[in-house]
A and B are shown apart, each in its own frame.
Chain A
């Protein structure tokens, strides 16, 4: 089957850097994605890694190591509005369009 593990909660200070890790297990790998979800809101796409290495999008970066079945989301210059849940996700191992999500990491940014 598939499994994704990520920490349940992370707290960080405004202006700091935080890293949210994700380890995955899946028989067919089609890339690792990250989504953000504010309380009461819809998940929104943040980043996608298909190959090893770092992808940077503004204050957010995502890293993937396929040999380690591991990735992380890096948030820099944290702002209060970054307080949200962050989910890593892989495509279904059959290669279909649906995503298999991790249980999410709740990030709390404190002043």
Chain B
């Protein structure tokens, strides 16, 4: 069974640009969560999607958005990039009922210059 796939693995953008990251969950997993990881703040929850609906949202500005497609694939978008958005963005999928067990992708490392 294939794991969680995130593309691209690396991105370099400049301030003010926008970016879209993609995540393909494990087959059969309908819940997809996104996290931001930085050295200073650690792993922080961005949002979770389930059956194409945003089910939960973390404490991030509206520049961060996402969506989920009918095949459970998910995208997240960051508009008007700021230097502080430089981070590793991780996607995780899980099965309903498995609660605390999430399967993470390798992440997209975003550098904003």
Interface residues of A (CB under 8 A from B): 30-33, 41-45, 48, 50, 87, 89-92, 94, 96-104
Q: Give 12 pairs: A residue, B residue, CB < 8 Å, sorted on A.
A: A30-B100, A43-B90, A45-B100, A45-B102, A89-B100, A91-B100, A96-B55, A98-B33, A98-B58, A99-B33, A101-B35, A101-B42
Contact B100–A48 (Cβ < 8 Å): yes
Question: Interface centre among A44, A97, A99, by most B CB within 10 Å?
Answer: A97
B32 CB to nearest chain A CB (Å): 9
Contacts of B100 in A (CB 8 A): 30-33, 45, 48, 89-91, 99
How many residue pairs, one in A and one in B, have C-beta atoms under 8 Å apart? 67
B29 CB to nearest chain A CB (Å): 11
Lowest 3 CB-CB distances: which A-B pairs, in order?
A33-B100, A42-B104, A101-B43
A66 CB to nearest chain B CB (Å): 14
Q: Which of B24-67 contact A (CB under 8 A)?
A: 31, 33, 35, 42-45, 48, 50, 55-56, 58
- Per-residue CB proximity of B96-108 to A under 8 Å, as 1/0? 0001111111110
